[in-house]
Structure 1
Amino acid sequence: MRIAVLAHVRQRIAEPFAGGMEAHCWQLAAGLQDRGHDVVLFASGDSDPRFAIDPVLPEHYERTFPWAEHRGSAPLIAHLDHGYAAACDRIAAGGFDVVHNNSLHRFPLEQRRTAMVPTVTSLHVPPYDALHWFVSQSPSPRHHLTVTSARQREAWWPAGAPAEVSILHNGIDAERWPYRTDGNGDAVWCGRITPNKGPHLAARAARAAGIRLTLFGAIEDPDYWSAEVEPLIADTVVYGGHLGAAALADELGRASLFVFTPCWDEPFGLVAAEAMACGLPVAAFDLGAAREVVGEAGRFAPPGDVEGLAATMREAMAIDPTVPRDRVMRLFTRERWLDRCEALYRTVMAGDARLAA
């Protein structure tokens, strides 16, 4: 197939990944390429040059419009609208069999566009006002939407989802997250360092549990880092930086526990699945899709409960590392995910939502 992968452009689609959306889109383009498809990545022009890139914008927009300052501003909206309108026009004229839309922009959802090129849209976030109406009006036989969990589907469609919506769990390339059983007794946390990911709560819980914790990830919100996280950095809580996938996988493999602290309605939690692939059990806040993803591979504390999370960390440490690894290999492999993507592409190309059931 000739496939257009349409990305969001807040960050580059390149390592070190800023977050799960960037990792997801990179893995999608790479996986489809590995399967022999003709893939063009519509992303910021400073994304990974290993791909054939058709730039939506010359560079990711945080270089021009830092998110913390300009979120929702008229100049940013105009900048994105101009880029996505032109990209959608190029996709329509580009001879593509299908487009996999990961952009979180309203233009690719319009039925006049999905009527021209069959489209699969993957939603990576909980519902929000700027996109909700456009999503609700977009399903059609040639446009299928996916969510990453049952919890996310219920959030977007509390009264029941239409036939053109299905759950597509994220997939993990197990070869990039090697399994080890010789953990060193430490815990790790990784993700975007921002309040809704809760690293300050992970640090406080680790100190209460007496377990050494290393935090990894991009400091997205410097004010939050300075006020809430950095003061907790001490002998038993350290910051390990923002690492590429190979270096991060090595760090995860040396540890014995992953701490997952969503403070929002987490749609999936790719970092937890990656850690599980390395054999790490998970101590998590029971929020969003955390229980759906982690399952028997972890233990859960009420959202925001630091003392409860500390107790959960000690309990989860006793889970055998084969349990998280087996769960990933059963439910969240890259091959399973890509098989499902290809099936969805055939569905929208045939124009029959029933084929996706």
Structure 2
Amino acid sequence: MTRLARAERLRILVIAPSRHLIRQPHPGGLEAAVWDRVRSLRALGHEVTLIAARGSDFLDRTPERMLLPGVVWGGARTSDEAYPDGYLDQVSSVLGGVVDHLIANPDAFDLIDNHSLHPTPIERSADHGIPMLTTLHTPPLPELVAAAVVAGAAHSFVAVSSHTASEWRAFGVDSTVLPNVVDPGAWPLGPGGQDLVWFGRLVPEKGAHLAIDAARMLARKITVLGRVGDVQYFDEAVAPRLGADVRHLGPLRRRRLAQVVGSSGCALVTPCWDEPFGMVVAEALTTGTPVAAFDRGGISEVVRGLPGARLVPPGDTAALAAAASALLQTTPAERQTIRQHAIERFSPQRWLPRLDALYRQQVSRPVVSLDRVPAEP
């Protein structure tokens, strides 16, 4: 018997990254993608249990003991790279307990949809025998690569872009490419405007300071939107650049964020690392707002063949300013065309059927009988 034979409506355990809450305003693209995934799966009728930090949305089915700790920094400290002392030990304890529960209850779920950046869910995936699909949202992380080696061929991976898939493949981890999606209802067509916009995490690898420099080359106002993920970077590289022509609004809930982006003449995207996907590109284009971006990582793949996007050499702020200047001439009719093409590329209606097919492929495999002593509940 297969798991699929037992139920067409799947019982799915989604494991989120633990650093931030899975709720609005979204701390970053990874958390937004997981939030959208859970919401979409529940809308399709699946029974979804979310393992995420306390205070996240969608925790109505999650046992108390399976809630992850959120990162708590003292004072103004914050980092999207490091963790407070002892934090990872807490996460390891909770995730270890989740795996022990799955070993003791191997029929509790039909599938595990994993987005965690912690190695435990991958490393111990063979212990419970439940089919598991892990999405690769980041460049290769040594601890996850090592966990994938332990898990072996039984574990399946999905990458958010061909670029990301190729990076992981170089370390022996094969994956199927399944791009992130953008809900066109949440990112409606905007009227455009004369000013520029930058949105994302305020961390060094996202390069918001370079977008400000490019805007000043054009003598255009720019709105910077996003959570401060690195206080030192913000204080040293962004705050000194703020002024009458540069405002920082901080993180916004999606509806307000989409309004600001859609009311801008051009979005600047300035990665200083190899971007695994580039969610902000897809979101801006869905509002009809054109994008000028540094050509790094998966961004060229995201915009390939789409109108309203211009790529320039990484770090070249003069070229970025020139591309933005041309895109600021975009007409209302052209904005509608940009949006339509973006919807065709990124809409859930295109990609959710493929995700469902991947799920069905996983759960259709014969159930492996594990001769193990059940862990203590």
Q: Output the TM-score relative to the length of structure 1.
A: 0.90
Could you tell which deviates more after superposition, 130-139 or 245-254?
A: 130-139
The structural deviation recorded for 1:101 is 0.1
Contact 1:12 1:22 in 2 (8 A): yes
Could you tell which deviates more after superposition, 67-76 or 5-14?
A: 67-76
Q: Secondary structure at the match of 1:140?
A: helix
The structural deviation recorded for 1:338 is 2.0
Q: Alignment partner for residue 238 of structure 1, among 236, 247, 253? A: 247
The structural deviation recorded for 1:307 is 1.1
Q: 2: distance between equivalents of 1:282 and 1:84?
A: 39
Q: 1: distance between equivalents of 2:242 and 2:96?
A: 45
Q: 2: distance between equivalents of 1:317 and 1:114?
A: 55
Contact 1:120 1:145 in 2 (8 A): yes
The structural deviation recorded for 1:54 is 3.9
* 1:145 aligns to 2:154 (yes or no): no
Q: Secondary structure at the match of 1:321?
A: helix
The structural deviation recorded for 1:120 is 0.7
Letter paired with 1:338: L
Q: 2: distance between equivalents of 1:147 and 1:288?
A: 13
Counterpart of 1:175 in structure 2 is 185
1:158-191 deviation digits (Å, cap 9, x = unpaired): 38864xx1001001111011113x2111111111
Q: Alignment partner for residue 258 of structure 1, among 267, 274, 280? A: 267
Equivalent pairs, count: 348
Q: Alignment partner for residue 32 of structure 2, among 23, 26, 36? A: 23
Q: Alignment partner for residue 110 of structure 2, among 76, 97, 101? A: 97
Counterpart of 1:155 in structure 2 is 167
Q: Output the TM-score relative to the length of structure 2.
A: 0.86
Q: Which runs of 5+ in 2 are unaligned?
A: 1-9, 367-377
User: In structure 2, do the counterparts of structure 1 residues 85 and 246 end up closer, same or farther at CA, with 3 Å as the change threshold?
Assistant: same
Counterpart of 1:247 in structure 2 is 256
Counterpart of 2:361 in structure 1 is 347
1:281-335 deviation digits (Å, cap 9, x = unpaired): 1000000111111233311111111111111111233452134312321121122
* 1:11 aligns to 2:20 (yes or no): yes
User: In structure 2, do the counterparts of structure 1 residues 186 and 80 end up closer, same or farther at CA, with 3 Å as the change threshold?
Assistant: same
The structural deviation recorded for 1:129 is 2.0
Counterpart of 2:336 in structure 1 is 322
* 1:126 aligns to 2:139 (yes or no): yes
Contact 1:257 1:283 in 2 (8 A): yes
Counterpart of 1:61 in structure 2 is 71
* 1:81 aligns to 2:103 (yes or no): no
Q: 1: distance between equivalents of 2:246 and 2:180?
A: 30
Q: 2: distance between equivalents of 1:47 and 1:140?
A: 32
User: In structure 2, do the counterparts of structure 1 residues 287 and 185 end up closer, same or farther at CA, with 3 Å as the change threshold?
Assistant: same
RMSD: 2.3
Letter paired with 2:133: V
Contact 1:41 1:54 in 2 (8 A): no
Counterpart of 2:119 in structure 1 is 106
Counterpart of 2:348 in structure 1 is 334
Q: Secondary structure at the match of 2:251?
A: coil
Q: 2: distance between equivalents of 1:114 and 1:214?
A: 49
The structural deviation recorded for 1:251 is 1.1
Letter paired with 1:102: H
Could you tell which deviates more after superposition, 228-237 or 51-60?
A: 51-60
Q: Alignment partner for residue 312 of structure 1, among 316, 320, 323? A: 323
The structural deviation recorded for 1:119 is 0.5
Q: Which runs of 5+ in 1 are unaligned?
A: 353-357
1:8-62 deviation digits (Å, cap 9, x = unpaired): 1100001111001110111110000001111111111211257533454454124
Q: Secondary structure at the match of 2:250?
A: coil
Q: Secondary structure at the match of 1:275?
A: helix
Q: Secondary structure at the match of 2:153?
A: coil
Q: Secondary structure at the match of 1:82?
A: helix
The structural deviation recorded for 1:90 is 2.9
The structural deviation recorded for 1:269 is 1.1
Q: 2: distance between equivalents of 1:131 and 1:146?
A: 14
Counterpart of 2:375 in structure 1 is none
Q: 1: distance between equivalents of 2:316 and 2:131?
A: 45
The structural deviation recorded for 1:241 is 2.0
User: In structure 2, do the counterparts of structure 1 residues 212 and 126 end up closer, same or farther at CA, with 3 Å as the change threshold?
Assistant: same
Contact 1:178 1:253 in 2 (8 A): yes
Percent identity among equivalent residues? 33
User: In structure 2, do the counterparts of structure 1 residues 318 and 155 end up closer, same or farther at CA, with 3 Å as the change threshold?
Assistant: farther
Contact 1:174 1:333 in 2 (8 A): yes
The structural deviation recorded for 1:85 is 0.7
Q: Secondary structure at the match of 1:341?
A: helix
Contact 2:99 2:124 in 1 (8 A): no
User: In structure 2, do the counterparts of structure 1 residues 328 and 274 end up closer, same or farther at CA, with 3 Å as the change threshold?
Assistant: same
User: In structure 2, do the counterparts of structure 1 residues 114 and 301 end up closer, same or farther at CA, with 3 Å as the change threshold?
Assistant: farther
The higher radius of gyration belongs to 2
Q: Secondary structure at the match of 1:258?
A: strand
* 1:205 aligns to 2:214 (yes or no): yes
Counterpart of 1:166 in structure 2 is 176
